[in-house]
C-alpha cells in the first residue's frame, strides 16, 4: 500500500536507528582493545554484507520502487549513509573491499534520484566510477564490478563492450553481461546477424566461455594490429560495427 508522509518519516527514523546500531557495532567490535572473540563476530555472522543488504539496500529499493512518490527525504538519507559508510571505510579497514563497493552502490542510487541538476548527476557518476574502479582493482575476479563500469561507460559503446567482456572472462562468469552485449550492438545490425551472434556466441554453457572469449580477445588484438599498420586509417574507423564483425567471426 502507498505510505503517507508520516509513515515514511517513521520508516526513515527506524532505518536510521538500525544503521546507527550497526555502525556502532563495527566500531566497537573492531576496536584494537576488543577481544579476539568479539572481533570475529562480524565475520562469523557475515555482518558487512548484511549491513548493506538489510540496513541500507532493502530500504533504498523499497523507496525506489515507490517512484514517482516524492523523494524529498531520499537525497538526505543517502548523504547520511554515505558519510557514515565513508567513516567505516577509514576506521574499519578490515572490511575495506565491502565498504568500497557499498560506496559505489550508494553513489549509483544518488545518481538515479537526481532529476534536476545535470551537473550534480555527472559529478556523482564520476564518483561512482572511481569507487568501482578501486573495487575492481582490489577484487579483479568480481564480474559484477565490470558490469557496473560498463553501464557507467555510456554512451561510449566500445568502452562498454570492453567492460562487458571483462565481466564475462572472470571466473565465475557474470552471465548478465551476455545479453547486455547483444543489446548494446543490436541496433546497428539486422535481425539475422543478431540471431547468428546469439546462437553462435551466447547460447553456450559456462564451460565454453573461457575458450570462446579467448578467441574473441585474439581476434580483437589482431584487428587492432592491422589497423595500426595502416597509418592512413583513422582511429574513428574502429566502430561498434567492426567489433560486431569480430564477435560474429569468433562465434563461428
Q: What is the pLDDT of residues 192-206, one digit of tens each?
A: 444 444 554 555 554
State how far the Cα of 91 lies from the Cα of 121, in Å rounded to an integer.
28
Q: What is the pLDDT of residues 210-243, one digit of tens each?
A: 555 556 556 655 655 554 554 334 444 444 455 5
> What integer pLDDT is reported at residue 236 of this predicted model?
44
pTM above 0.85, yes or no: no
- Cα angle 59, 64, 68; round to 5: 135
State how far the Cα of 25 lies from the Cα of 92, in Å rounded to an integer.
11
- Higher pLDDT: 189 or 22? It is 22
The three-class DSSP label of residue 139 is: coil
Number of H helices, E strands in the chain: 14, 0
Compute the average pLDDT of residues 43-48.
93
Question: Could you tell me which of 169, 106, 100 has the C-alpha nearest to residue 135?
Answer: 100
Compute the average pLDDT of residues 70-81.
76
Amino acid at each position: 500500500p502507498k505510505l503517507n508522509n508520516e509513515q515514511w518519516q517513521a520508516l526513515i527514523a527506524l532505518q536510521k536507528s538500525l544503521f546507527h546500531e550497526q555502525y556502532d557495532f563495527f566500531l566497537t567490535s573492531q576496536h584494537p582493545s576488543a577481544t579476539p572473540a568479539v572481533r570475529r563476530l562480524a565475520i562469523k555472522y557475515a555482518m558487512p554484507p548484511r549491513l548493506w543488504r538489510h540496513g541500507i539496500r532493502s530500504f533504498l529499493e523499497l523507496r525506489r520502487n515507490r517512484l514517482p512518490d516524492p523523494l524529498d527525504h531520499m537525497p538526505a538519507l543517502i548523504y547520511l549513509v554515505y558519510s557514515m559508510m565513508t567513516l567505516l571505510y577509514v576506521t574499519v579497514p578490515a572490511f575495506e573491499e565491502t565498504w568500497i563497493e557499498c560506496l559505489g552502490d550508494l553513489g549509483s542510487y544518488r545518481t538515479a534520484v537526481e532529476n534536476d541538476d545535470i551537473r550534480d548527476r555527472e559529478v556523482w557518476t564520476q564518483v561512482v566510477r572511481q569507487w568501482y574502479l578501486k573495487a575492481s582493482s582490489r577484487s579483479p575476479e568480481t564480474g559484477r564490478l565490470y558490469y557496473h563500469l560498463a553501464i557507467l561507460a555510456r554512451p561510449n559503446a566500445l568502452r562498454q563492450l570492453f567492460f562487458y567482456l571483462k565481466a564475462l572472462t572472470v571466473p565465475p562468469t557474470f552471465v548478465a553481461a551476455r545479453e547486455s552485449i547483444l543489446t548494446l550492438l543490436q541496433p546497428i545490425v539486422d535481425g539475422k546477424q543478431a540471431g547468428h551472434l546469439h546462437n553462435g556466441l551466447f547460447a553456450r554453457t559456462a564451460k565454453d566461455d573461457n575458450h570462446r572469449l579467448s578467441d574473441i580477445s585474439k581476434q580483437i588484438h589482431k584487428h587492432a594490429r592491422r589497423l595500426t599498420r595502416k597509418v592512413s586509417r583513422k582511429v574513428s574507423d574502429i566502430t561498434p560495427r567492426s567489433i560486431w564483425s569480430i564477435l560474429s567471426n569468433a562465434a563461428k
